[in-house]
């Protein structure tokens, strides 16, 4: 029998059948009028999903979320620039590494695992470091901690710094209002809340980020990462004209166009509310099952994934036991606590039946491990509230 387990990891996620159907269509030329229309529409809709301004520039490139991080940094940072990293987990640390590799002088403002630096701490760090760039991971996939992007971006503006938001585990699921919040550059990967199989790096650069790129004194060392190479491509396709630099991921872009159309039919505010509702059911289940989570406070807890600690007497074999119950979850990732917790992704096309199936599988696996608690009733009650 085929593997019919439900994929509930923090990406890749379960994808809608029509998105997969589009992905499986015959491959068209990147000069085909049908593809040109799909790519142009997808670029326009990217702005709408990010809630970005009309003067922002989307980039959709073949690659991963890590490529998007690398590309964001490479185009606005030059050797010797000062950068401040708001650290909330392992992926914040990866951003610090990327900044350093491009020659930035990096300062981090951090908190213990599961916590986030206060706005006061960020303000103090801004005053001391006087950075050109501030980076923040909206939801760190390693910890499930959600940062206060709106507050951090406001502080960065007050200190004349650009804000880069790693939204790999947030865009399309968590509230992000790029234009309203003054976020200069936001990025994600296709395989999470945008609902497209892995393979696309997605960035939206606001006018201040594009101005910083155009003001570069040195030529970018990487040809593939260079906005200068990709900008004519994005502008041409949005104008419904072809332009060649490197072959686009034709089938993935077509699937991306299909998925963005579904997101916008649902509506971004409705989508944010649905993710919050599903997350509230998981939180109710964790509480009922007496499972402490990595985020130390409610307002720091993401709506796109959960990170519960193993209860007493339960170890790292639990994810495998949950898998045997029909649900695939992920193990821990943050180095100092990775053997103490597991992670459940709940983003994209997540609906109540998925929540209940997942909680039920976790409850059964825990019961077999000797930890018998009723989380399913609590999740059902939260969904009905």
pLDDT 10s digits, 15-71? 999 999 999 999 999 999 999 999 999 999 999 999 999 999 999 999 999 999 999
Burial category of 151 from C-beta neighbours within 10 Å (exposed 0-12, middle 13-18, buried 19 and up): middle
- 6-11+268-384 and 17-266: identical CATH topology: no
Mean per-residue pLDDT of the chain: 97
d(CA 175, CA 299): 13
The pLDDT assigned to 128 comes to: 97
pLDDT in tens, 161-203: 999 999 999 999 999 999 999 999 999 999 999 999 999 999 9
The pLDDT assigned to 136 comes to: 98
d(CA 149, CA 304): 15
For domain 6-11+268-384, the CATH class is: alpha beta
Q: Phi and psi of 186, rounded to 5°? A: -125, 150
CA angle 74, 143, 46 (to 5 degrees): 50
Pairing of strands 162-166, 185-189: parallel
The pLDDT assigned to 1 comes to: 43
Q: Kindly state the average pLDDT of the residues 345-359.
A: 98
d(CA 57, CA 65): 17
Q: Kindly state the average pLDDT of the residues 127-135.
A: 98
Alpha helix (H) residue ranges in 62-187: 65-76, 90-101, 119-129, 149-158, 178-181
d(CA 19, CA 203): 21
The answer to whether residue 296 scores a pLDDT higher than 50 is yes
pLDDT in tens, 192-245: 999 999 999 999 999 999 999 999 999 999 999 999 999 999 999 999 999 999
Q: What is the CATH number of domain 17-266?
A: 3.40.640.10
pLDDT band at residue 2, thresholds of 50, 70 and 90? low
Alpha helix (H) residue ranges in 53-101: 65-76, 90-101
Query: Whole-model pTM?
Result: 0.97
pLDDT in tens, 311-325: 999 999 999 999 999
Domain ranges in the chain are 6-11+268-384, 17-266
């Amino acid at each position: 029998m085929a593997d019919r387990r439900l994929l509930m990891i923090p990406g890749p996620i379960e994808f809608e059948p029509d998105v997969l159907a589009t992905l499986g269509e015959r491959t068209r030329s990147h000069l085909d009028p049908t593809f040109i229309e799909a790519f142009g529409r997808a670029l326009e809709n990217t702005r709408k999903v990010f809630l970005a301004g009309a003067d922002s520039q989307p980039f959709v490139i073949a690659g991963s979320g890590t490529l998007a991080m690398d590309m964001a940094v490479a185009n606005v940072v030059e050797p010797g620039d000062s950068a401040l990293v708001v650290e909330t987990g392992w992926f914040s640390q990866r951003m610090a590494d990327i900044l350093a590799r491009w020659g930035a002088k990096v300062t981090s403002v951090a908190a213990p695992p599961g916590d986030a630096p206060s706005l006061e701490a960020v303000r103090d760090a801004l005053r001391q470091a006087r950075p050109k760039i501030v980076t923040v991971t909206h939801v760190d996939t390693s910890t499930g901690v959600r940062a206060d992007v709106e507050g951090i971006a406001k502080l960065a503006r007050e200190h004349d710094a650009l804000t880069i938001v790693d939204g790999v585990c947030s865009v399309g699921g968590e509230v992000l209002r790029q234009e309203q919040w003054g976020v200069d550059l936001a990025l994600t990967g296709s395989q999470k809340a945008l609902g497209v199989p892995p393979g696309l790096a997605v960035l939206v650069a606001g006018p201040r980020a594009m101005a910083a790129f155009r003001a570069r004194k040195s030529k970018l060392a990487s040809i593939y990462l260079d906005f200068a190479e990709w900008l004519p491509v994005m502008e041409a396709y949005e104008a419904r004209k072809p332009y060649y630099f490197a072959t686009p991921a034709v089938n993935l872009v077509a699937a991306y166009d299909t998925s963005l159309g579904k997101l916008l039919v649902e509506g971004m505010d409705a989508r944010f509310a649905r993710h919050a509702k599903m997350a509230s059911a998981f939180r109710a289940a964790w509480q009922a099952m007496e499972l402490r989570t990595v985020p130390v406070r409610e307002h720091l807890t993401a709506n796109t994934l959960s990170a519960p600690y193993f209860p007493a007497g339960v170890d790292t074999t639990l994810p495998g036991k949950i898998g045997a119950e029909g649900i695939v979850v992920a193990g821990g990732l943050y180095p100092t606590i990775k053997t103490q917790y597991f992670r459940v992704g709940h983003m994209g096309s997540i609906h109540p039946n998925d929540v209940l199936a997942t909680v039920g599988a976790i409850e059964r696996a825990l019961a077999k491990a000797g930890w018998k608690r009723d989380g399913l009733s609590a999740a059902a009650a939260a969904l009905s509230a």
